[in-house]
Amino acid sequence: MVERERIICASHALADSGRGVRFEVEYFGEAAPAFAVRYAGEVHAYLNRCAHVAMELDWQEGVFFDAAGRDLLCSTHGAMYEARSG
């Protein structure tokens, strides 16, 4: 359960399948990179790390979607993640 709320960005800053917004969260007591994106009208937020390679997903800051704007893409090795579930 989240102990406190915080504003990450204005809602209009997240366009459907567009650039994401990076921020940090505490994860197991350490600062960890995270990001928020909008997909199909809903905002989703995830840790900014590939499940296979210890790297961040975006190849340019805020670029998380594949060319079709459907899946999240690991820039290091091309793994694809569903935008709705990560």
Distance in angstroms (rounded) separating the CA atoms of residues 8 and 10: 7
Task: Give the pLDDT of residue 25.
Answer: 94
Task: Give the pLDDT of residue 53.
Answer: 86
Whole-model pTM? 0.90
Cα dihedral 77, 49, 85, 74, rounded to 10, equals: -20
Ordered per-residue pLDDT tens for the chain, 86 residues? 456 788 999 999 999 999 999 999 999 999 999 999 999 999 999 999 999 988 999 989 999 999 999 999 999 999 999 999 99
Distance in angstroms (rounded) separating the CA atoms of residues 49 and 51: 6
Q: What is the pLDDT of residues 19-31, one digit of tens each?
A: 999 999 999 999 9
In a 13 Å sphere around the CA of 30, the CA atoms on its Cβ side amount to 4
